[in-house]
């Protein structure tokens, strides 16, 4: 709840004036396009499946042009659990390890009880 209040305060104060330039990088400078937080839970995993599938379809339709592909982040508290989800999703979708069109699913470690990790995650992506 503390984090939500801080976010709400910063959101409401940002409507009265511009945010500091260092606070939020412009969308074009963020390394990820979409990050799914909580990908190890049932709902998050379902969302991650569809995001990863869309990224793979996008990559294949762009003839392997890596510049045009969707950059995906899958986030959770445990690196091991997120890695297992990525492997499992790639198997379900049918993405081979050696597939040159495989989307780059990056692991993001974040914990809802750690404000700094949540802020870092939000600053690294365009859509969360």
CATH of the domain at 74: 3.40.50.720
pLDDT of residue 67: 58
Q: Which of 22-26, 100-104, 107-111, 117-121 has the lowest mean pLDDT?
A: 22-26
Task: Read off the pLDDT band of 11 (50, 70, 90).
Answer: very low
| Residue 48 placed within a domain | yes
| Residue 11 placed within a domain | no
| Residue 37 placed within a domain | yes
For residues 52-70, average pLDDT: 77
| Residue 12 placed within a domain | no
The whole domain housing 59 covers 27-127
Dist. CA 61–CA 117, nearest whole Å: 34
| Residue 3 placed within a domain | no
The pTM assigned to this predicted structure is 0.76
For residues 25-34, average pLDDT: 84
Looking at the structure of the chain, the number of domains it has is 1
Dist. CA 17–CA 89, nearest whole Å: 42
pLDDT of residue 9: 37
**Residue 74 pLDDT > 90:** yes
């Amino acid at each position: 709840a503390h984090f939500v209040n801080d976010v709400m305060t910063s959101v409401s104060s940002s409507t009265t004036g511009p945010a500091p330039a260092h606070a939020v990088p412009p969308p074009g400078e963020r390394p990820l396009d979409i990050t799914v937080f909580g990908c190890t839970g049932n709902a998050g995993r379902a969302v991650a499946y569809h995001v990863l599938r869309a990224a793979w379809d996008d990559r294949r339709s762009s003839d392997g042009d890596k510049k045009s592909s969707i950059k995906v982040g899958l986030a959770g508290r445990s690196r091991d659990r997120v890695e297992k989800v990525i492997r499992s999703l790639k198997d379900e979708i049918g993405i081979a390890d050696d597939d040159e069109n495989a989307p780059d699913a990056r692991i993001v470690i974040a914990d809802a009880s750690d404000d700094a990790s949540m802020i870092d995650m939000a600053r690294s992506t365009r859509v969360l």
